[in-house]
Copies of this chain bind each other. A is one copy, B any other.
Amino acid sequence: MNTAQDKVMTLEQAIASYVTDGCHISIGGFTVSRNPMAAVYEIVRQRKKNLHCYAHSNGTGVDELIGGGCVSRLEIAYGGNGKAAPTCIRFKLAIQRGEILFEDYSNYHMSLRFHAGAMGVPFIATLSGLGTDILNIWGFSKEMRAKDPKLPNKKAEVIDNPFGSWTGASKVVLIPAINPDVTIIHVQKADRYGTCRIEGLNFADIDQAKSAKNVIVTCEEIVDAAELREKPEYNQIPFIHVSAVVHVPHGAYPSACYNYYDYDPMYLRQLSNFAKDDKLYKEYLETFVHGVKNHRGLLNLVGQEQLKIIAADARTGYATGLDRR
């Protein structure tokens, strides 16, 4: 039911209802910005297992899901997260230790796959990746794909241009659509029915949402529908796509939420230090994730003072002069 009903619920409810063990999931944001971290930590807290995760460059969010033990299969373009983790550490370890199955694509591939899913077509064409191992080497075997109806039968397909040399292309890569069971995004503003307004870059959030069966929106502010409807052209996701709306101030923390707060370089640096050591990382999870009841609890551990330091400047939308060394 995605009609114009009130969809506001708690994060606990939303995750419990729509994120099931083994489900196919994608999260919004990109590296240090607008990861739906509150939702990610709630997934870890609820000890969800065997998630099949679709990521382009989803930074801290995906790394914490992996570190939290929730992910068994990963399709990804980029496992890096800015200065604090040029390669995401739990991602790196999980692959090196053979703990998860993984499949590599490029960022454009992944964006196009969500786009195809949102459009309701089986594939979309691109010229990216011809001649590379991204197309040659399959992380998920043909056999594994044949057995699982939730996977396309091929990683990608190269065909001759059926329109001769139209647009100058001799060959094209077709890459298969993604339709996640659930997509979670964090936005600045949403109304109670799920219509969203994203400020700053939207990354691939719009198609990630529209391609999914269920969408959980966490937001900094729940605003009146009437307010959003004054400028409908700035609302990228209409309510018809959304299943749950959750009010979570600082819901992207420790990643940034444009016009609200910056990423927290200190938290991210510390997290990287913890992540490098299994024991420290376990303690970190026990304290910061399992040890708190909800995102508010994590923010309390961080402290108001730190949140003040990363608060966004009204003119630029980020914390000007923030110490990011």
Contacts and interface: CB of A to CB of B under 8 A. Distances in A.
Interface residues of A, number: 35
Contacts of A200: 233
Interface string A145-172: 0000000111001010111101101001
Grouping DSSP codes into helix (H, G, I), strand (E, B) and loop, the A interface class, with mixed when no group exceeds half, is: loop
A95 interface: no
A124 B122 contact: no
A177 interface: yes
Contacts of A127: 120-121
Nearest to A108: B119
B159 A122 contact: no
Interface string A112-146: 00001101111111110000000000000000000
Contacts of A120: 127, 167
A120 B112 CA distance: 13
A211 to B, nearest CB: 10
A36 interface: no
A166 B162 contact: no
Given A120-B127, A172-B121, A234-B233, A167 B153 contact: no
- Stoichiometry, as copies per complex, reads 2
A171 B136 CA distance: 25
A103 interface: no
A31 interface: no
A51 interface: no
Contact of A123 (B119, B152, B162): B162
A195 interface: no
Interface pairs A-B: 9 shortest CB-CB = A122-B167, A153-B164, A121-B125, A122-B166, A152-B166, A157-B162, A122-B169, A152-B163, A163-B176
22 contacts: A116-B125, A117-B167, A119-B126, A121-B125, A121-B126, A121-B172, A122-B125, A122-B161, A122-B163, A123-B125, A123-B166, A123-B172, A124-B124, A124-B125, A152-B163, A157-B162, A157-B163, A163-B174, A163-B176, A198-B233, A201-B233, A202-B233
